[in-house]
Structure 1
Amino acid sequence: MTITRLQRTAAAAAALALPASLAFLAPQAQAQAPAEPFGPACSSVPKTGSGSLDVMAKAPVATAAAGNPQLSTLVAALKKAGLVDTLNNKENITVFAPTNAAFNKIPKADLTALLANKAQLTKVLTYHVVGKKITTAQLLNGSFTTLEGQKLTTKGSGSTYTVNGTSKIVCGNVQTANATVELVDTVLMPPSS
């Protein structure tokens, strides 16, 4: 059986067209999800030194958070709950990290009581941690089981995402040595709390 020049040309054209046509089949959500850190609070992350994105990327998550001025209340809470080593030693996790502004939304008496109750504080803080790395594309419409044991949900697109319908990711896709960090503007409470 002889292959004509026309058949060879048609086969070559089909081979070239295949990758282009497959691009149309790729999920559009992934093209929309930012690969770099995103969100309005990212602009207040230090550009250099302790707490900068470059320094955070080299340290485990709790240590990295300690250098970020937006996360000082979270770091104090992690220390009170005894979770610093636990988070630093876990691999490939995602932490929905409440900013200082998020903790400031809690009435002072309630926050003082939460910080004084190690069991409840541990429950709340572990509800902010998912035992796997979540990509920004997975935030589009996600449901994830937390270390606390219950699920949290995410929705959004582009660079606008919410957690559990109300908490906004204000600086997302921040990388540390062992985690992806999503800074959120509200402390997430486990459903049974």
Structure 2
Amino acid sequence: MSKQPDPTRRSERSRQAILDAARELVSEVGYAKLSIEAIAARAGVGKQTIYRWWRSKGAVVFDAFLALSQDGDSIALPDTGDIEADLKTVMRATAAEFADPQFEAPIRALNTEIANDPELAAHYREKLAGPVDEAKKARLRSAQQAGQIAADADLDLALELLYAPLFQRWLHRSGPLTPEYADALVDLALKALRPD
């Protein structure tokens, strides 16, 4: 008795091949030179297969990088009980990621696409930024409960205090994204957030 092919498994293999191809190609040729045709050729699928799942190359590249961060576990920040140490760990990792040449160009390209494509921006907020921000706020809430951050601190504003300067420095290429810079951001933000 012959076994029938499973179209679901074949679709998942094609989808994964497309995501892998997009990630590889954006690193090799850059976002501007990346095309749906090149992704399809590398993945061994037709262009129509890509357009069945994604409406633009920006959406494909976003999902390719989103897949890297999804390992099946829920997002959580370290919670050792020491908010300063935990925030410095996270901010150093964030600065290192933004400074990594392998990810820097694709991240810049994605930010440009997100800025110019409201649908992609909404997808980004729903799938990545929203859940990550909620995880960050959960860690800050834990620090509030421990008395390390003021009970009335606006946690959305606290995230902006921490991350906006790092993002601005990266966006404008106005200085290095070092561990020392990440630590200084945490120190300054905690001065504003600690209880009186």
Q: Could you say which TM-score interval applies, normalised by the shorter chain?
A: under 0.3
Higher share in strand: 1
Q: TM-score, normalising length from structure 2?
A: 0.25
Higher share in helix: 2
Choose 1 or 2 for highest CA Rg. Answer: 1
Q: TM-score, normalising length from structure 1?
A: 0.25
